Structures are given as C-alpha cells and as structure tokens.
Amino acid sequence: MSILRIDSSANTETSVTRTLTDRIIATLDDTNITVRDLAETPLPQITHTWAVARAVPGEDRNAEQKAALELSDTLIAELRAADTIVIGAPVYNFSVPASLKAWIDLIARAGETFRYTADGPEGLIKGKRVIVAFASGGTPVGSEMDFASTYLRHVLGFIGITDVTVIAADALAMDADKTIANANAAVDALAA
C-alpha cells in the first residue's frame, strides 16, 4: 500500500486538518508515503502555455510545452502510484483553499485522468481510496453552504475516484472540543 498525503492548510503549526491527517496516516500504518504540502511548496496556477500544451498530443509537444506540463505529469504520477490519498482540506470561504484548487487544476487532464466518450466523461483514476480531513469554523459538511466537500467529491468522481471518506471537524467555532472529539472518533473508526 502506498499513500499520497496532500496538505493544503496555510496554517502550518496549529492546523486541525494537519493534525487529523497525521492521525489518519498513523491509523493506516504505512511507511510508503509521498507528501505534497501545498502551503510549504505552492503550486503554480495554470497558464496559457499549459492550457495549449495539454491539448497537443504528447509526441507532438515541443520542449516548451513538455516543460509546461512537467509538474502536472509528476502530480498525476503521484496520484496514480498511490493506493490511498489523504487530503487535508480546510474550508476557506465555503470552499477549498486556492492551493488545493491549483492541485486539482494540474491533475484534471483530459486523456490522463479522464477522457470524453460517446456516453460522456469517464474517470481514468480508478481503484483508489480517498480520505479527506475537513475543518471549518461553522460550515457543516453536506449543508447548503458547503461547497468544499461537494466540490471535492464531484471532481474526484469525475477523474474516477468514488471511494471517498470524509472526516469532518466542521463546527470548530461553536464547540471545538466536541468537534475534534467527533473527528478523532471517525479517524479511530477507520482502523476498525
């Protein structure tokens, strides 16, 4: 088993999602872990060169186009190599952080992680498990104002990943102790 850990909280010292992802990783008890810390090493936004390059068949790309897609190719390779993906996703303004959105933009590529068919889009990243640690001050997971978990579930499903478990610490501003205790219990249940 191999794990891809993605941290997206800008808070690198007292982050609830980072604490939860630590606990999730410990519960999974795997030593083959790739860490992608999007706060410590931010990803670039997609550019015109990138957008053009992704539409050019691989064998026809020039050196500049290959260079533009190099990081995207690396991120997709990390995703493909992982059996389990653990994502720390704080809720910023009702959605995922820009750092996590940049990762999604770089891995969601036609012909690589999904393809278009006569029956519609088909995800190409299959057989993966995702565990998402969500934290928010007061945006309840699954509520009308939760665009973060619904978006993440949708985009993961779009690329073929439908086995998604959400660990929610989603009422930190109301009762942090109870919220964290509930999230920790959900992490503990992963091992059961």
> Residues forming the annotated binding site for FMN?
9
Q: What span, in angstroms and rounded, lies between the C-alpha atoms of 5 and 25?
A: 8
Query: Which amino acids are annotated as binding site, given as ranges?
Result: 9
Rama region for 145: left / alpha / beta (φ>0; ψ in -120 to 50; rest)? alpha
Q: Which long-range contacts (CB under 8 A, 24 or more apart) does 152-157 make?
A: 152/87, 152/89, 152/96, 152/100, 155/104, 155/108, 156/130, 157/123
Q: Would you list the DSSP string of 106-174?
A: HH--BTTTEEEETTEEEE---S-EEEEEEE-SS--TTSTT--HHHHHHHHHHHTT--EEEEEEE--HHH
